[in-house]
Amino acid sequence: MTTETVVGAPPSGAGDPALGGPPLDLGTARLIGHGWKRDCYLHPGDPGLCIKVPSIKPKGTRRFRERFIEWRHGGSIGDQHNAREWAAYGQFGGLLAPYLPVYHGFVATSRGRGLLIDVVRDADGAPSAHLKDWLRESTADEAAPLLARINDLFDLLLGSEIWLMDLNLTNFVARIDARGDARPMLIDIKRIADNKELFQISGWSRTLMRRKLARRMARFHAKVEMTRNG
């Protein structure tokens, strides 16, 4: 297996099978994100990078749908999501570059193959806050420019027919630039082909995909209002 790279390279040879380096040990690495399918760790040798790896589930906790998908596609769902996120970045990462961190490909870790990505940080070096948390602390005037930029992103998705479906508050962070402006950044990209449909009916029709994406956008805006008013 070789390491796939977009920009830059993993620090040193650790985790790079092409360089013969040992797997990165995540045993003492800081966990910065936890999901049902993947965990995200701060790179143990470079705080500017993070690594997404499949989550470990206790025996007997996997749902039938998960077992079916793993049987159908091969490999854990976390591995599949990493592969699909990497493929999505390769497909439209250039077009969405203002809204995405840089992805660096795969590295070997003590938790299996991990997806290496830049950590999104504010201009002062602090990790950018999740959008939901930032909205709770911001005023309406502060939030308005960021929400306008998210609307620009949604227009770009529809206009370019990029079917990102996992448009949740938890998949955005608010990055504060040197001028103090907040900019939305996506930290997880999920296409129509990766959604929760067991059989991908929506993917057969461009009209259905547009309608589905529009519904996701409407739900996103409703969650924004609930968060700001809650």
Average pLDDT, the chain: 81
Question: For position 15, what pLDDT does the model report?
Answer: 57
CB atoms within 10 A of CB 40: 22
**113 and 142 share one domain:** no
Q: What would the mean pLDDT of 101-116 be, rounded to a whole number?
A: 94
**195 and 107 share one domain:** no
Tokens of 103: 């992805």
Q: What would the mean pLDDT of 143-160 be, rounded to a whole number?
A: 94
Residue 6 lies in a domain: no
Output the DSSP codes for 55-100: PP--TT---HHHHHHHHHH-S-HHHHHHHHHHHHHHHHTTTTGGGS
Degrees, nearest 5: CA angle 52-197-65: 70
Which of these, 83, 70, 143, lies nearest to 114 by C-alpha position?
83
Domain boundary (118, 141, 156) is at: 118
pLDDT at 212 over 80: yes
Highest-pLDDT range among 24-38, 142-156, 215-229: 142-156
**167 and 95 share one domain:** no
User: Backbone dihedral region of 50: left (phi > 0), alpha (psi from -120 to 50 degrees) or beta?
Assistant: beta
Q: What would the mean pLDDT of 66-90 be, rounded to a whole number?
A: 72
**143 and 105 share one domain:** no
Residue 214 lies in a domain: yes
CB atoms within 10 A of CB 3: 19
**147 and 92 share one domain:** no
Give pTM, 2 decimals.
0.80
Q: What would the mean pLDDT of 57-74 be, rounded to a whole number?
A: 50
Of 30-39, 144-153, 171-180, which range is least confident? 30-39
**111 and 145 share one domain:** no
Rounded to a whole number, what is the distance in angstroms from the first to the last CA of the chain? Answer: 49
Residue 203 lies in a domain: yes
Look at the chain and report how many structural domains it folds into: 2
**53 and 136 share one domain:** no
Residue 35 lies in a domain: yes
Residue 167 lies in a domain: yes
pLDDT at 50 over 60: yes
Domain boundary (56, 89, 118) is at: 118
**97 and 143 share one domain:** no
pLDDT at 38 over 50: yes
Residue 10 lies in a domain: no
Report which secondary-structure segment, H or E, holds 206. helix 206-229
**87 and 21 share one domain:** yes
Residue 106: domain span: 17-118
Output the DSSP codes for 93-160: TTTTGGGSPPEEEEEEEBTEEEEEEEPPB-TTSPBPEEHHHHHHHS-HHHHHHHHHHHHHHHHHHHHH
Residue 83 lies in a domain: yes
**224 and 137 share one domain:** yes
Residue 54 lies in a domain: yes
**Amino acid found at 58:** P
CATH at 110: 3.30.200
Question: For position 167, what pLDDT does the model report?
Answer: 84
